[in-house]
Amino acid sequence: MSTTTHLMTAEELIDLPDDGHRYELVKGVLLTMSPPGEEHGKVSATIIFLLKSFVQAKKLGTVYAESGFKLEADPDTVLAPDAAFIGSDRAGTASKGYRFGAPDLAVEVISPSERKSKVEQKTEQWLSLGTRAVWLIRPQSRTVEVILANSQRTVFTETDELVDDLVVPGFRVPVAEIFR
């Protein structure tokens, strides 16, 4: 006797009731995540504010907060970074469901409980599916690691200025400001 496992679709994912958890879908398999803690929320809100203020003033594109991106179909993969950016050349009109395709930038705020291997796996997913850069914000070490699609990695510490001229042209912010 064989057992078949139901693979969830992006449409089924978006129709799930709000139960206080966050969900992502990887090749049709539902992943459940606990709601983030206070520090995570504060840092996420700060980076979203900083990015949105800059992007809006320069008319560079659109900034998203915890929005799902459908990266693969049949079986579906839907990931939701803490923040994302899509340049105006690709932004287009917002859809009612998940946006199909990767953002130019995915920002992940790393919680203390997240395993390094899981963070690396998710970073690789973003980059292999079309994201141009991933920012890994680590409140515990007060650092931001920028990983580009060409595998170049740069770690910015609290005394540095985060600079991203490739994906968000002209964006600069003292790293310490992200953790205030």
Q: The domain that contains 135 carries what CATH number?
A: 3.90.1570.10
Position 15 in a domain: no
How many structural domains is the chain composed of? 1
Q: How far apart are CA 151 and CA 167, in angstroms?
A: 14
Position 100 in a domain: yes
pTM of the model: 0.91
The helix (run of H) or strand (run of E) holding residue 50 is helix 38-58
Least confident of 7-11, 18-22, 26-30, 166-170: 18-22
Q: Is it the case that residue 3 has pLDDT exceeding 70?
A: no
Q: Is it the case that residue 1 has pLDDT exceeding 70?
A: no
* Mean pLDDT value of segment 146-151: 94
Domain that holds residue 124: 36-178
Least confident of 15-24, 64-73, 155-164, 168-177: 15-24
Please choose, from the candidates 88, 153, 124, the residue with its C-alpha nearest in 3D space to the C-alpha of residue 145: 153
155: number of Cβ within 10 Å: 14
